[in-house]
Structure 1
């Protein structure tokens, strides 16, 4: 695409040059500020008055350019009495006032219609002064180039705070109104195409993951011999199992009781100290993330050091039930929200880990949650996890078979995930180029079939 005839220096490091006829305006000239309802997560209910919650603002499903109805939460009607200032209007933005990482600083939801919606806890309302159509700005606020000024101004260690002052002092790029309209039309069209392709790829990815789970589930609960004699496990979600397999609680197959991790803060990055493994260090495929490395003082780590074959279980939060098998060549210890299982002579650690990636394991987790007010699985519950265990020799045969199947499947999953990541980067670059004037879209027209 072509560029503008002339550009001018914006005078802002994060932005560089902008089209000569575009303006830079301070955020505070476009918006006033308000606060969300004085509520907590515990106040949210299944039905009532809709609110934009802190969780929705930071959700990966939040596009930032519209209200995602399926992410809305609710409060009782009594909570909004006398709180009209927390109601949002078309053209407003709701920003999260804190973030657990720098990347999330600047996350917001754009109010794209005249809904009856209130801002929830930990939120800042940016109330539009001049216009109720700020779709162009909803795209601008998604870009790294705009968020860089927010990130450079926030403060915090474990949690980063985004204040009204931080937003107020930021600068906003404003093209002429007619160009804003064209840019929005272009981005709605292009982003819609890209999002549709991403959705298709993500469905393929989900299907591949389901197939992966089915391969594991069949192998670890039914075995490889289709003609083997079966027996009733006596457990509804487990069903029939091979007659010669043992079925009992996990604790029977461990060499020592389950152990909780260290209750220490993760502050050091000393590469000579044992790595301090936390739930957030483990990705969805059971691998350690390099970019989240933290370490712990050897004296504090000593009682929580890991050996090869140790299996870690997450005990609370959004990732409760996630597992990780330690097979690293470097020293490591584990944090308090993880529980360590050390297998005895009748159970291979790799088989236990594989079992925790099965559909049956997910069914067990769900059965535990039905009886609990919060999603939390402690050592007492994990110790009672029903597990089916064949002989060591058959465990190894199953592992060899499954690993061979998953090796081929993993490469396909990796390829599809890479395609999704590339599409998201492409979408980001298209948005950035459009809202910063790197391309001239004034003559753009949607393609006609």
Structure 2
């Protein structure tokens, strides 16, 4: 699936080293409208969006929008509050050309790396293990920026990130276009996607999270 004769360097970095978090602010559900300035409310990332979007389903008036923090093209939008642990940390990539407003409990994560690569990484057990160690709360669970900035991630060169994203996009498309298939066939597609996602993003390398190092893969 990847060229076996090419050598790449892997970097073990923290999210804080490769990107910047911006926390959203005040959008009440009662502020949401059917037209106006585009916004994404944190609850909608749980219920309305998949892994990326170039349009919003909600809007606010100009006065509210002017006070909001914004997300821009290719920002990763991460939910940092949830009533259940599994939904905490769910993320989408904003692929629209225009800026949008974001609500509280959403972090816009800006990076020069491929944000779609990082979005796929947030689905892996390696991310979930770090999330589970750092979540706070009981009835409602939270992730704090100061903790997320320390999350460790393996970063290959951008060229390889792009290749991995292209492969995983094909698996994701197969799942999204599985309407009419038998339940067993749908589950098989999901299992294949998860298998290759975890293989591609772990590189089958034993890393030491306490320190940064460079590794090579072939």
Number of the residue aligned with 2:212: none
Q: Please, which of 83, 95, 108 is the counterpart of residue 78 of structure 2? A: 95
Number of the residue aligned with 1:138: 119
Number of the residue aligned with 1:218: none
Please give the alpha-carbon distance, in whole angstroms, between the structure 2 residues aligned to 1:200 and 1:30: 41
Aligned pairs for 1:273-284 within 5 A:
none
Number of the residue aligned with 1:67: 53
Please give the alpha-carbon distance, in whole angstroms, between the structure 2 residues aligned to 1:105 and 1:2: 31
Aligned pairs for 1:208-287 within 5 A:
none
Aligned pairs for 1:287-306 within 5 A:
none
Gaps of 5+ in 2: 206-216
Please give the alpha-carbon distance, in whole angstroms, between the structure 2 residues aligned to 1:53 and 1:159: 17
Number of the residue aligned with 2:133: 152
Number of the residue aligned with 1:435: 201
Q: Please, which of 159, 169, 180 is the counterpart of residue 200 of structure 1? A: 180
Q: Is 1:39 equivalent to 2:19 in the alignment?
A: no
TM-score by length of 2: 0.82
Q: Is 1:420 equivalent to 2:157 in the alignment?
A: no
Pairwise CA distance, 1:171: 0.9
Pairwise CA distance, 1:2: 8.3
Number of the residue aligned with 1:54: 42
Number of the residue aligned with 1:22: 10
Gaps of 5+ in 1: 6-18, 202-415, 444-449
Please give the alpha-carbon distance, in whole angstroms, between the structure 1 residues aligned to 2:108 and 2:188: 33
- CA, structure 1 residues 142+155, in 2 after alignment: closer, same or farther (shift >3 Å)? same
Number of the residue aligned with 1:177: 158
Please give the alpha-carbon distance, in whole angstroms, between the structure 1 residues aligned to 2:193 and 2:199: 10
Please give the alpha-carbon distance, in whole angstroms, between the structure 1 residues aligned to 2:106 and 2:115: 19
TM-score by length of 1: 0.42
User: Which structure: larger Rg?
Assistant: 1
More strand by share: 2
**Bigger relative contact order, structure 1 or 2, given CA contacts below 8 A and separation 6+?**
2
Pairwise CA distance, 1:79: 0.6
Number of the residue aligned with 1:119: 102
Please give the alpha-carbon distance, in whole angstroms, between the structure 2 residues aligned to 1:422 and 1:159: 33
Aligned residues: 206
Q: Residues 73 and 97 of structure 2 are in contact (CA less than 8 Å); yes or no, is this contact kept in structure 1?
A: yes
Q: Give the SS at the match of 2:97.
A: coil
- CA, structure 1 residues 2+180, in 2 after alignment: closer, same or farther (shift >3 Å)? closer
Q: Give the SS at the match of 1:33.
A: strand
Please give the alpha-carbon distance, in whole angstroms, between the structure 2 residues aligned to 1:429 and 1:183: 13
Q: Residues 112 and 135 of structure 1 are in contact (CA less than 8 Å); yes or no, is this contact kept in structure 2?
A: no
Pairwise CA distance, 1:75: 1.1
Q: Residues 3 and 438 of structure 1 are in contact (CA less than 8 Å); yes or no, is this contact kept in structure 2?
A: no
- CA, structure 1 residues 424+80, in 2 after alignment: closer, same or farther (shift >3 Å)? same
> Cα deviations across residues 351-407 of structure 1 (Å, max 9, x unaligned)?
xxxxxxxxxxxxxxxxxxxxxxxxxxxxxxxxxxxxxxxxxxxxxxxxxxxxxxxxx
Please give the alpha-carbon distance, in whole angstroms, between the structure 1 residues aligned to 2:40 and 2:67: 18
Pairwise CA distance, 1:82: 4.1
Q: Give the SS at the match of 2:180.
A: helix
> Cα deviations across residues 252-285 of structure 1 (Å, max 9, x unaligned)?
xxxxxxxxxxxxxxxxxxxxxxxxxxxxxxxxxx
Q: Please, which of 124, 145, 158 is the counterpart of residue 164 of structure 1? A: 145
Q: Residues 37 and 100 of structure 2 are in contact (CA less than 8 Å); yes or no, is this contact kept in structure 1?
A: yes
Pairwise CA distance, 1:115: 2.5
Please give the alpha-carbon distance, in whole angstroms, between the structure 2 residues aligned to 1:162 and 1:34: 13
Q: Residues 47 and 75 of structure 1 are in contact (CA less than 8 Å); yes or no, is this contact kept in structure 2?
A: yes
